[in-house]
């Protein structure tokens, strides 16, 4: 489905817009199905969004007791490591809100065998998240996007981008000289909604390349085919290279 674009003037307006959209969708989903299953993004961009979600008014409006948190990907590090996506989300959000600890489903980045950690997390997803079309069915997946167009740890030219048999896989990212654990496209495309968050001038080119030119998918972020619209949230700096027509047609 065609991506929908939200351009916010500043980073703080971006953070608030994403937090508000998460709260609204979570409240509506819990009203309908008594639970909300959300996968958090890693990296640096979402940290400020999580900090915003941990504050008034968003924090009090979230039905935390009905929320299950998952992770889109994780680095091959322990949870307290500075590079840990769980560690980042825990410090910015999860330690500050009354979500039941057994509803936070962490990828075990500390496992010396990332393939084993990926297989374990596949079982977590399949036992904790609803299943639809034979795959875990998350309500919302939050994603950042790399300047190379990667999402989660689905990096260009890696086998993970083509993984269609497993919901979670381990991937050796040679350009980063590291292993990652990541959910795969069957799970991303089975999500009810996907939010892609991009901020800052360094993301302007990938945002343009991903949204402006309707070419066949060159970048992993362009391969998203979720059931609902892919919602992009970008600030003015990240939208700087978009043409007026793209902004008009995608908003």
Residues that bind ligand 6PG (CB under 6 A): 41-45, 72-73, 85, 144-146, 150-153
The residue (of 21 and 30) whose beta carbon lies closer to ligand 6PG is 21
Shortest distance (Å) from residue 27 CB to ligand 6PG: 25
The residue (of 35 and 169) whose beta carbon lies closer to ligand 6PG is 169
Shortest distance (Å) from residue 88 CB to ligand 6PG: 9
The residue (of 73 and 139) whose beta carbon lies closer to ligand 6PG is 73
Q: Which of 110, 188, 120, 190 minimizes the C-alpha distance to 154?
A: 188
Whole-Å CA distances, 35 to 28, 63, 227, 228: 10, 9, 19, 18
Q: Which phi and psi angles does 212 have, rounded to 5°?
A: -75, -55
Shortest distance (Å) from residue 217 CB to ligand 6PG: 17
Q: Please say whether the beta carbons of 194 and 230 come within 8 A.
A: yes
Q: Which of 120, 68, 110 minimizes the C-alpha distance to 87?
A: 110
Other beta carbons less than 10 A from residue 218's beta carbon: 13
The residue (of 67 and 160) whose beta carbon lies closer to ligand 6PG is 160
Shortest distance (Å) from residue 148 CB to ligand 6PG: 9
What would you report as the CA-atom Rg of the chain, rounded to the nearest whole angstrom? 17
The residue (of 35 and 72) whose beta carbon lies closer to ligand 6PG is 72
What are the respective helix, strand and coil percentages of the chain, to the nearest 5? 40, 20, 40
Shortest distance (Å) from residue 233 CB to ligand 6PG: 12
Q: Which residue is nearest to ligand 6PG (CB)?
A: 144
């Amino acid at each position: 489905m065609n991506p929908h674009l939200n351009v916010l003037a500043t980073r703080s307006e971006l953070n608030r817009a994403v937090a508000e959209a998460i709260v609204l969708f979570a409240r509506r989903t819990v009203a309908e199905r008594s639970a909300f299953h959300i996968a958090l993004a890693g990296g640096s961009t979402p940290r400020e969004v999580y900090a915003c979600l941990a504050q008034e008014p968003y924090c009090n409006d979230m039905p935390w007791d009905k929320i299950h948190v998952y992770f889109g990907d994780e680095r091959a590090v322990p949870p307290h490591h500075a590079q840990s996506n769980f560690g980042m989300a825990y410090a910015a959000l999860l330690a500050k809100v009354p979500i039941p600890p057994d509803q936070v489903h962490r990828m075990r980045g500390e496992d010396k065998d990332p393939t084993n950690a990926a297989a374990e997390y596949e079982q977590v997803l399949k036992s904790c998240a609803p299943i639809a079309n034979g795959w875990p069915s998350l309500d919302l997946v939050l994603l950042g996007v790399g300047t190379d167009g990667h999402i989660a740890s689905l990096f260009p030219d890696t086998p993970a981008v083509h993984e269609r048999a497993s919901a979670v896989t381990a991937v050796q990212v040679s350009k980063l000289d590291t292993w990652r654990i990541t959910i795969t496209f069957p799970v991303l495309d089975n999500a009810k909604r996907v939010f892609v968050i991009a901020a800052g001038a360094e993301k302007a080119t990938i945002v343009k390349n991903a949204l402006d030119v309707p070419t066949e998918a060159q970048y992993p972020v362009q391969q998203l085919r979720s059931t609902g619209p892919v919602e992009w949230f970008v600030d003015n700096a990240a939208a700087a290279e978009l043409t007026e027509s793209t902004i008009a047609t995608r908003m």
